[in-house]
Amino acid sequence: MARPIDAAMQSSFLRTLLVCAACAPVAGTLGAQAAVFPLLITAMSADVRGRADATRVAAQLASHMISAASAAALGLLDTRTLAFGQGALSAAFPVGCVLLLSLQFTRLRHPPAMASGGAVLCGVNPLAVVGCAIVTGLVLVAETLLRGVRRGES
């Protein structure tokens, strides 16, 4: 027998659907639809009920931006290529992997953010990741405000 869907599950589904709908045009405009998926994971797991949750989610969104910016900065450094046995590989990719993995050992640890940085390393426009992170944050703030209004808080 299937278990009934509880309110938290419904909220998570709706939040993720809203983030997808809001981020799709942002990422699509920049031709970087892959930027949306790591932020969907963040939205799915973000249940902001208080100040501590809001701080946690803000750090997660910041980690998406830092990962994307770090990966983009490596690309801008144009480290050229390193020769490896079977050909040339951009030096930015292995250095970027080490950088993104090292971010996971800080307070900003958030595996979906590593996926955002990895997408940028693979050519996704970093502005799409940053734009989608901002949109995700706006959806989460709106959800928190609506919950407060429903409970009669101001």
- pLDDT digit string, tens, across residues 90-107: 677 888 889 899 988 988
Please identify every stretch of the chain with a pLDDT value under 70, giving residue numbers as ranges.
Answer: 1-5, 78-90, 148-154
Largest distance between two CA atoms of the chain: 66
pLDDT digits (tens, 9 = 90+) for 35-47: 999 999 999 988 8
**Cα–Cα distance measured from residue 50 to residue 152, given in angstroms and rounded to the nearest whole number:** 15
Please, which residues have CB within 8 angstroms of residue 125's CB and are 6 or more apart in sequence? 30, 31, 32, 35
